[in-house]
Amino acid sequence: MSTPGRGLHGHVLDTLGPEITAGEYPPGSVLRTDELAQRFDVSRSVMREAVRVLESMHLVESRRRVGVTVRPMSEWNVYDPQVIRWRLAGKDRARQLRSLTVLRSAIEPVAAGLAARHATSQQCAELTECALGMVANSRGHKLEEYLVHDMAFHRVILDASGNEMFARLGDVVAEVLAGRTHHDVMFEDPDPAAVTLHVQVAEAVRAGDAVRAEELTREITVGALQELDILAP
Amino acid sequence: MSTPGRGLHGHVLDTLGPEITAGEYPPGSVLRTDELAQRFDVSRSVMREAVRVLESMHLVESRRRVGVTVRPMSEWNVYDPQVIRWRLAGKDRARQLRSLTVLRSAIEPVAAGLAARHATSQQCAELTECALGMVANSRGHKLEEYLVHDMAFHRVILDASGNEMFARLGDVVAEVLAGRTHHDVMFEDPDPAAVTLHVQVAEAVRAGDAVRAEELTREITVGALQELDILAP
DNA sequence: GGAGACAAAAAGTCAGACTTATTCGTCACG
DNA sequence: CGTGACGAATAAGTCTGACTTTTTGTCTCC
């Protein structure tokens, strides 16, 4: 995605990471560095670097005389964008998408409220532009163009909140929106009500109306949650 | 903290990580693997493993013929518990604490609402126990004992929400609460109103009253935000 | 002054030997 | 029988040195 297989150790991670996050090795499973190096046909140095990265994500733990043991899912660094990507590409993408959508529903309304207070005039302009782009592509099976503007819209909101923790969720939200468009729901044109809400949020932010921006965004995320409930009650 | 200097590469990270997150190397600064290996008196293999970990946190980027370049703060994986710890131990701990408290104010109310729906009877019992422990230690300069129960309380709420993304913020919230007690505010006994709110949240969760649990928790987090505003308006 | 070739620099890779910590089995001792 | 200590096996950890690959800056040459 962002950094595709840069170097041999990257290629190893592209295979091993998804396998682990997909749960192919039950927690407590033991892998041996040497065997992995053989399997991927790389030197032990390269394999060790890959293991170190997995370890920094808390996916595995490396202990002397034991080997590389897989940690239970509850200990994974589930906010690591790489881990999120692996899991979204794997088996439990539905569960993952639900968790992330709930996260969105908590974060984005608050972020929109802050954005109404902190957004620069340029960010307001970008927001309006994105909302207009969504309107323009809301009919006629132009889902891809719509998605681009939708992702940009939410990224601007999160950035404009002025909170770095929120801002860093831009990639995650984009991934969720993309996943929704490309796989699960959204067979036809997007919900007109949602499009309108985005336009209204842009207006509220520009007007500096924090309460209204927060409430409108809450409606958007509630809608996203309902979409999931319809799909898998 | 959790995994203190495990192995040589861990020791290198314990020094280099805080240096980078403290901003001692401006974005775009170039480090050379060989020089770093010399500086820390380790072999290049060990140094490379450390660089790989820093790279997986998006703190640096390693490119051929160029070296290891430090990335701008906006690209760091700020949700990585290790990065959070490094930053909380460093220069901008105040800024970091503020960001995290805003994050809490978005997450915890929603988590409490979900907890009211999903908490098991055992989790309800734990919650009540924590709240009672907070009451018992709310007077008489027993800040440490109070803190333990406070951290446990919020961890149970986040776990009981049933959302893994929320659950994994337990460590972060604990870190924020600990930081608040040990450094910034909290010179004397905690605010009695806050203690009462925790007890009421425990009751609301046990009663399955999601709306009330959410609203009460919102009051708690608003209080935490106000504490910061009083300290640094 | 632009395009292409060349050289230097730094990360990337590999192989092999050695070190160290941990675990497990065994054996002696209570 | 249990128990504790000793020792051997094992797999990660470390170091070294040689080699490869990619990128970049420069220096021609047209």
Q: Is residue A169 part of a domain?
A: yes
- Per CB-CB distance under 8 Å, the chain B contacts of A77 are 79-81, 168
B19 lies in the same domain as B109: no
Q: What is the CATH number of the domain that holds B13?
A: 1.10.10.10
Give the pLDDT confidence score for residue B189 in this predicted structure.
82
Token pair, residue B141, equals: 């300069």
Tell me the pLDDT band of A171, cut-offs 50, 70 and 90: very high
In the structure, what pLDDT confidence band is assigned to residue B108 with cuts at 50, 70 and 90? very high
Q: Are A53 and A8 in contact (CB under 8 A)?
A: no
Residue B97 sits in the same domain as residue B203: yes
Q: How far is the CA of B65 from the C1' of D30 (A)?
A: 30
Q: Do residues A39 and A102 both lie within one domain?
A: no
Residue B1 has pLDDT above 60, yes or no: no
Q: What sections of B161-186 are H helices per DSSP?
A: 164-167, 170-182
**pLDDT reported for residue A189:** 81
Burial (0-12, 13-18, 19+ Cβ within 10 Å), A230: exposed
Q: What is the DSSP letter of A190?
A: P
For residues A110 and A212, state if they share a domain: yes
Q: Is residue A203 included in any domain, yes or no?
A: yes
Flag whether residue A222 sits within 8 Å of chain B, measured between CB atoms: no
Shared domain for B46 and B141, answered yes or no, is: no
Nearest CA-CA partner of B17 in B88, B74, B65: B88
Tokens of A185: 């729901």
Interface contact flag, B103 A53, Cβ < 8 Å = no
Angstrom distance, A222 CA to C20 C1': 56
Whether B65 and B164 share a structural domain: no
Residues A50 and A147 in one domain: no
**A48 contacts in chain B (CB < 8 Å):** 45, 49
The domain of A149 spans 93-231
The answer to which of A171-185, A212-226, B71-85, B178-192 has the lowest mean pLDDT is: B178-192
User: What percent of chain B lies above the pLDDT cut of 90?
Assistant: 85
DSSP state of B70: E
A70 touches chain B (CB under 8 A): no
Give the residue among B193, B191, B175, B183 at the shortest CA–CA distance from B231.
B183
In this predicted structure, the answer to whether residue A188 has a pLDDT above a threshold of 90 is no
Residue B188 has a pLDDT of 75
Total count of domains within chain A: 2
> What's the token pair of residue A102?
């709930």
B132 has a pLDDT exceeding 70 = yes
The reply to whether B80 falls in a domain is no
Strand order across the A30-31 sheet: A30-31, A67-70, A60-63
Among B48, B110, B163, the residue with its CB nearest the CB of A99 is B163
pLDDT at residue A233 in the model: 60
What are the residues facing B30 on neighbouring strands? B69
Chain A within 8 Å of B110 (Cβ-Cβ)? yes
Q: What is the pLDDT of residue A6?
A: 83
pLDDT tens digits, A10-21: 999 999 999 999
Q: How far is the CA of B68 from the C1' of C16 (A)?
A: 28
B63 nearest nucleotide via C1' and CA: C11
| Residue where a domain terminates, one of B75, B102, B127 | B75
Alpha-carbon gap, residue B194 to A223, rounded angstroms? 33
pLDDT of residue B4: 60
For residue A194, what pLDDT is reported? 95
Would you call B48 an interface residue with chain A, using a CB distance cutoff of 8 Å? yes
Among A140-149, A161-170, B31-40, name the one with the lowest average pLDDT: A140-149
> How confident is the model at residue B184, as a pLDDT?
65
Which nucleotides of strand D lie within 7 A of protein CB?
Answer: 9-17, 21-24
Q: What is the pLDDT of residues A98-147, one digit of tens each?
A: 999 999 999 999 999 999 999 999 999 999 999 999 999 998 888 899 99
CATH assignment of the domain containing A207:
1.20.120.530
Q: pLDDT tens for residues A53-94? A: 999 999 999 999 999 999 999 999 999 999 999 999 999 888
Same domain membership, residue A130 and residue A67:
no
Q: How far is CA B165 from the centre of its chain?
A: 14
Same domain, B168 and B56: no
A116-119's contacts with Cβ under 8 Å and 24+ in sequence apart are A116/A204, A116/A205, A116/A207, A116/A208, A116/A209, A116/A210, A116/A212, A116/A213, A116/A214, A117/A208, A117/A210, A118/A160, A118/A161, A118/A162, A119/A160, A119/A205, A119/A206
Tell whether A9 is within 8 A of chain B (Cβ).
Answer: yes
Residue B86 located in a structural domain:
no
Q: Which of B81, B99, B163 sits opposite A165 (nearest CB)?
A: B99
Q: What is the pLDDT of residues B97-107, one digit of tens each?
A: 999 999 999 99
Residue of B nearest to A47 (CA): B49
Asked if B8 CB < 7 A from strand D, the reply is yes
Note the CA–C1' distance, A6 to C5, in angstroms. 28
Say if residue A35's pLDDT is above 90. yes
Do both B70 and B99 map to the same domain? no
Interface check A168 vs B, CB under 8 A: yes
Residues A176 and B68: their CA atoms lie apart, in Å, by: 32
Give a yes or no: residue B42 inside a domain: yes
For residue B171, being part of any structural domain is answered with yes
Distance of C1' in D28 from CA in B45, Å = 39
pLDDT value at residue B92: 86
